[in-house]
Amino acid sequence: MRILMCRTVRLAAGLMLAALQPASAAEHARLLSDYSHRAWTAAQGAPAQIQAITQTRDGWLWLSTPTGLYRFDGLNFERRDRVGGQALRSTIVLPLYTAPDGALWVGYRFGGASVFKDGKVRHYGAADGFPPGATYCFGRAPDGAMWVTTAGGLAWLHGGRWRRIGADSGFDPGAKAIWHVLFDRDGTQWVSSDRAVYYRRQGDSRYRIASPTDLRLSSLAAAPDGTVWASNGSDANYRMSQQAPAAGRPARPELPGSGMWFDRAGTMWLLSENRVERMLADVFPDPRQRITREQGLSGMNPQTFFEDREGNVWIGTVSGLDLFRPNRVRPLPSHLEIATPALYPGRDGKVRISGDNAGSWLMDAGGRRYDSSPHAFRSAATGRDGRPALGTAEGIWLPEAGGGAMIPSPPAALKDQMAPRALAQDGSGDWWASYVNLGIYRHHGGGWSRVDHPGLPAARVLSMLADRRDRIWIGYPDNRIAIIERGAVSMVGTAQGLRIGNVLTMVERNGHLWIAGELGAALYDGRRFIPLQLADGHALRGISGLVETAGGELWLHGHDGAFRIAAEQLGLFLRTGAGVGYELLDKDDGVSGGIQPTGPFPSMVEAGDGTLWLSGLGGAATIAPGATARDATPPLVEIRAVASNGKAYPVAGPLALPAGANNLQIGFSALGLSMPDKLAFRYRLEGVDSEWQQAGGRREAFYTNLGPGSYRFQVIAANKDGVWNTGGATLPVTIAPTFTQSLWFKVICLLVLAALAVLAWRWRLAQMARLIEARHVERLSERERIARALHDTFLQEAQGTILMMQLAMEQVPATLPARAAMERGIGYIEQALIEGRDEVRGLRSPLRDDETLAQSLERFGQRLAAGLSASFRLEQKGAPYALPVITGDEVFSIGREAICNAFRHARASEIVVELAYGAEQLGLLVRDNGQGIAADTLAQGGRSGHWGLVGMRERAARVGATIEVGNHGAGGAFVRLTLPTMYASA
């Protein structure tokens, strides 16, 4: 207890001393180097007079202002009259508080409070026992009870009702305002009012007045050591005590400021009228850090403080909002102003740091100096005995306690006070050193000799390394490395896969040999160089520092910052050579300045305690081991705005766009309070995009030429450390079709097209029918001409000849043989005449104009039946319809041929013709009950020398009909003709 009290006294003394001393420019800069600062004012959309700040479980930052409640995502301020869909009781809000269960408590200037949770709200007012007047503060007791202070009282929530603290508890309820309530680490409750500060120990039932007692104190703060501080709200902070003040001793403030807070690390923050201060009593050399409006503070009177879940500090002023994000890379807290210092790590966590011609110092990460030396070094190496060796203008300095030893440089280097740019010690203890424009020297046997091996390039040496096999590696520009082993020189480079440009540094650690340079880094596996590639294709530029830690991490320092490759990623690379994931610490993390391309190298080293030290144009900086833990919380993604055809639409629920909408503009965002600029987005519109669209940091998506239908927009985001929220935010979108885009219109169009196709088809059929008819008419005309010619010439002449022969024959006696011959000749001529007449009839249409097909077949069959023994019958089915002329001729000719064949060859007693007029086809069947057709005739399709069956098939093919010839099972033959109605139409 005494130790704790002594430490507390020393802390207070240090703080008081710091408060009385003027702050220097370095102290101003210190806060801004430990933290990245950003300010928002009205110009960036920030509200004024921020009175309270809190963060809800979903990550939103909520701000209370006189003009309303705002929420903030790191980029945009949005005024809200509703929380989770539930309306506020008033837009004039004061205190804010987020409970452990995620509920957001909101207090109002004109009384009452609301609790928002899971889309529901509970309002409290006078009917619930809520004390009257403006609500000032919410507090949560160790037992979980909620407390509130208002202008009219102090109360706590029990069973859904507020219970006010009355005079019977020792508390003065007549105070005009109860300002603040808090609970310290021991559970003691502290309450400030316009009359006094009260306290009540845990377990007690009564309140007591704390000292000092004669002051009007408002805000309270509980330090980690148990001290409770109170501010008068203007310019003084007092340490509160449960002891009565000494008689006659006026109260004095111990620290200036209008407010005080403590962050999670226990560090004190002071807010004053025109500045913000951070108090570090145990940090050398300056315990106070501050920032004013001149250094970028958003405004006067910083009045509220909040630390979010990522450790960012938010401060509200009368003019805006300030963010202090702790840098993961911290500048060395020292007054040394050295650009690009040389670094050499010690074993005990200290690092020797040097600047050109400015000497060197042994320091720790806190900026404390342990010794100094006039010897400034440019290069460094570790000897075989583990001792440091530093390349200075005088030579190789081997520091020891009390001074150390010096190996003087070669005379040529001493003449120009030239320090070696690279050092290495081989297995025999000889030192190797390179000098600009002088070449490589070797220190052996107490003297220097120039190394003029013919195998070494005549180029500037950039780096050296002595590996565990006692080989000397010498790095040159243009992917060239010389390896000296037992006096022999071998060169490796692009032929072995080296593609890093100038070789800036070489490191051997954990059995791995790494080479880094201007264009990247590579691992040497004993035969070839395996390039180190980043998984996302990011280029490694100017890598002049490389550290493989004992824990298996790989760190690279280059132009873009410090790359951290986790142990599991490095293991994957070592096994497969695959690209690795990484974390980049850049200017937003405190890596300031670039890297001097001429050295000194390496620009990154690891101290004995695991701290990484970086060298750059901005000086030295450190990365504490374990301080670069990644943010594993996926960012909350939200769709903020939707517009189509110049009209904005609400984003809640599915989006239904009217007919004619053909474009879509969607704005989205994600929570990234620490580094909103490093958020990355991907989006896609299902129904349009087959793959994710890489948006980078862009927060809008545009789509044009959209058709009607259903779509689904999805956006996902990754935080600054590459952790993706794969669920993201979605928005179903439907676009109603216009009449011309509707299904009915498409059906109508299809029907119209089908109708047009049918009409075109029918028109084509009619055209073909007309063509066929025209050809038939032409054919008939030609037949009639030929028939007339034959009738008028051949038949007439033949008939005349027969008459003349008959007259001549009558003059020949019947007994003469000549008469019999003449009779036979006349018979032959008459038979030929009959056949000629038949042929002439064939040239004309066999159908008479005054007969139907059935009548013509009936007439023909009855004529044959009159002279023969077989009977003939025709049966007609269906309503007859007209046939095209040629089609009718062919059908009749086929029927006539079949009837004739039946009478001639069937030896039948009955011949029947069935003519069926159907809707889909015309059928003609000729059958008999005769002897049938021989099997070989059916197989061959007819008899040799006879053309009846062949002719019927040819005629049927010409009109698109099919014909079938066969025998009945009960005896007799049949001929069946089937003509589709498409060919039977007139």
Please, which pLDDT band fits residue 335 given cuts at 50, 70 and 90? Answer: confident
State percent of the chain over pLDDT 70: 90
Residue 517 makes CB contacts below 8 A (sequence gap 6+) with 475, 479, 500, 501, 502, 503, 504, 505, 543
> What's the CA gap between 517 and 615, in Å, rounded?
16
Evaluate if residue 455 carries a pLDDT over 50. Answer: yes
Evaluate if residue 461 carries a pLDDT over 90. Answer: yes
Return the sign of the alpha-carbon dihedral for residues 407, 409, 415, 421.
negative
Please, which pLDDT band fits residue 6 given cuts at 50, 70 and 90? Answer: very low
Render 903-955 in DSSP notation, one character per residue: HHHS--SEEEEEEEE-SSEEEEEEEESSS---HHHHHHTS-TT--HHHHHHHH
- In this predicted model, which residue has the larger pLDDT, 973 or 175? 973
> What's the CA gap between 198 and 70, in Å, rounded?
33
Evaluate if residue 16 carries a pLDDT over 50. Answer: no
Render 857-905 in DSSP notation, one character per residue: HHHHHHHHHHHSSSEEEEEEES------HHHHHHHHHHHHHHHHHHHHH
Q: Which of 590, 452, 585, 462 is nearest to 516 (CA)?
A: 462
> What's the CA gap between 248 and 250, in Å, rounded?
6
Can you give the pLDDT at residue 613? 94
Evaluate if residue 456 carries a pLDDT over 60. Answer: yes
Q: What is the pLDDT of residues 643-681, one digit of tens each?
A: 999 999 988 889 999 988 999 999 999 988 888 888 999
- In this predicted model, which residue has the larger pLDDT, 787 or 463? 463
Evaluate if residue 777 carries a pLDDT over 80. Answer: no
Q: What is the 3-state secondary structure (H, E, C) of 521-534?
A: EEEECCCCEEECCE
Q: What is the pLDDT of residues 244-287, one digit of tens each?
A: 777 667 788 888 888 899 999 899 999 998 889 988 765 544 56
> What's the CA gap between 430 and 317, in Å, rounded?
64
Segment 351-369 mean pLDDT: 86
Segment 162-178 mean pLDDT: 88
Please, which pLDDT band fits residue 893 given cuts at 50, 70 and 90? Answer: confident
3-class SS at 335?
A: coil
Look up residue 501 and give its DSSP letter.
S
Can you give the pLDDT at residue 108? 97
Contacts 24+ apart (CB under 8 A), 584-587: 584/538, 584/560, 585/328, 585/329, 585/561, 585/623, 585/628, 586/560, 586/561, 586/562, 587/561
Can you give the pLDDT at residue 1? 31
Q: What is the pLDDT of residues 276-285, one digit of tens each?
A: 998 876 554 4
For the ranges 397-411, 813-827, 835-849, the one whose mean pLDDT is highest: 397-411
CB atoms within 10 A of CB 300: 15
Can you give the pLDDT at residue 70? 97
CB atoms within 10 A of CB 324: 23
Q: Which helix (H) or strand (E) holds 801?
A: helix 796-810
Lowest mean per-residue pLDDT among 87-91, 476-480, 597-601: 597-601
Can you give the pLDDT at residue 20? 35
Query: Residue-wise over 528-540: b if at least 16 C-beta within 10 A, else e?
Result: ebebbbbeeeeeb
Evaluate if residue 86 carries a pLDDT over 60. Answer: yes
Segment 785-791 mean pLDDT: 64
Segment 927-954 mean pLDDT: 80
Can you give the pLDDT at residue 867? 67
Evaluate if residue 134 carries a pLDDT over 80. Answer: yes
> What's the CA gap between 846 and 538, in Å, rounded?
94
Segment 968-975 mean pLDDT: 86
Q: Which of 505, 507, 509 is nearest to 520 (CA)?
A: 505
State percent of the chain over pLDDT 90: 53
Evaluate if residue 106 carries a pLDDT over 90. Answer: yes
3-class SS at 164?
A: strand
Segment 448-471 mean pLDDT: 92
3-class SS at 390?
A: strand
User: CB–CB of 474/459 below 8 Å?
Assistant: no
Detail the DSSP E strand segments found in 427-497. 431-435, 439-444, 447-450, 463-466, 472-476, 480-485, 488-492
| pTM, to two decimals | 0.70
Lowest mean per-residue pLDDT among 232-241, 696-705, 827-836: 827-836
Phi-psi group of 487: left, alpha or beta (phi > 0 → left; psi -120 to 50 → alpha; rest → beta): left
Cα 349 to chain centroid distance, Å, stands at 43
What is the torsion angle, in degrees rounded to the nearest 10, for the CA atoms of residue 654, residue 660, residue 662 and residue 665?
-50
- Token digits for 846? 């066999």
Can you give the pLDDT at residue 822? 78
Residue 688 makes CB contacts below 8 A (sequence gap 6+) with 703, 706, 711
What is the torsion angle, in degrees rounded to the nearest 10, for the CA atoms of residue 808, residue 811, residue 814 and residue 817?
-50
Evaluate if residue 7 carries a pLDDT over 90. Answer: no
Segment 320-324 mean pLDDT: 95
Evaluate if residue 11 carries a pLDDT over 50. Answer: no
Segment 302-316 mean pLDDT: 93
Detail the DSSP E strand segments found in 572-646. 583-585, 604-606, 612-616, 619-623, 637-644
Query: Mean pLDDT, the chain, as a whole number?
Result: 86
Q: Which of 569, 517, 567 is nearest to 539 (CA)?
A: 517
Helical H segments across 481-626, by residue range: 567-576
User: CB–CB of 659/687 below 8 Å?
Assistant: no
Q: What is the pLDDT of residues 512-523, one digit of tens each?
A: 999 999 999 999
Segment 78-98 mean pLDDT: 95
Can you give the pLDDT at residue 12? 35
Look up residue 580 and give its DSSP letter.
B
- Residue 803's alpha-carbon distances to 267, 799, 800, 806, in angstroms, are 150, 6, 5, 5
User: CB–CB of 922/891 below 8 Å?
Assistant: yes
Q: Which helix (H) or strand (E) holds 10?
A: helix 2-20
Segment 4-31 mean pLDDT: 39
Look up residue 451 and give its DSSP letter.
-
Can you give the pLDDT at residue 803? 66
Please, which pLDDT band fits residue 794 given cuts at 50, 70 and 90? Answer: low
Residue 255 makes CB contacts below 8 A (sequence gap 6+) with 15, 16, 19, 229, 236, 237, 270, 279
Can you give the pLDDT at residue 574? 94
Q: C-alpha angle with apex 238: 237 to 241, nearest 5 degrees?
A: 155
Segment 25-39 mean pLDDT: 68
Please, which pLDDT band fits residue 26 given cuts at 50, 70 and 90? Answer: very low
Please, which pLDDT band fits residue 916 given cuts at 50, 70 and 90? Answer: very high
Can you give the pLDDT at residue 18? 35
Q: C-alpha angle with apex 532: 526 to 538, nearest 5 degrees?
A: 170
Exposed, middle or buried by CB within 10 Å (0-12, 13-18, 19+), for 521?
A: buried
> What's the CA gap between 522 and 498, in Å, rounded?
7
Segment 552-575 mean pLDDT: 94
- Token digits for 974? 């049949």
Segment 608-617 mean pLDDT: 91
> What's the CA gap between 258 and 237, in Å, rounded?
7
> What's the CA gap between 681 and 406, in Å, rounded?
58
Look up residue 126 and give its DSSP letter.
G
CB atoms within 10 A of CB 220: 24
Segment 771-789 mean pLDDT: 71
Lowest mean per-residue pLDDT among 319-323, 691-695, 923-927, 957-961: 957-961
Could you report how far apart the first and last alpha carbons of the chain are, in Å? 123
User: CB–CB of 809/826 below 8 Å?
Assistant: yes
Cα 290 to chain centroid distance, Å, stands at 41
> What's the CA gap between 353 and 919, in Å, rounded?
109
Can you give the pLDDT at residue 158? 94
Exposed, middle or buried by CB within 10 Å (0-12, 13-18, 19+), for 91?
A: middle
Can you give the pLDDT at residue 4? 30
Can you give the pLDDT at residue 175? 78
Segment 495-522 mean pLDDT: 95
Report strand pairing: 910-917 vs 871-877.
Answer: parallel
> What's the CA gap between 355 and 376, in Å, rounded?
6
- In this predicted model, which residue has the larger pLDDT, 548 or 591? 548
3-class SS at 45?
A: coil
Q: What is the pLDDT of residues 712-749, one digit of tens each?
A: 999 999 988 888 999 999 999 999 888 777 778 888 88
Segment 136-148 mean pLDDT: 96
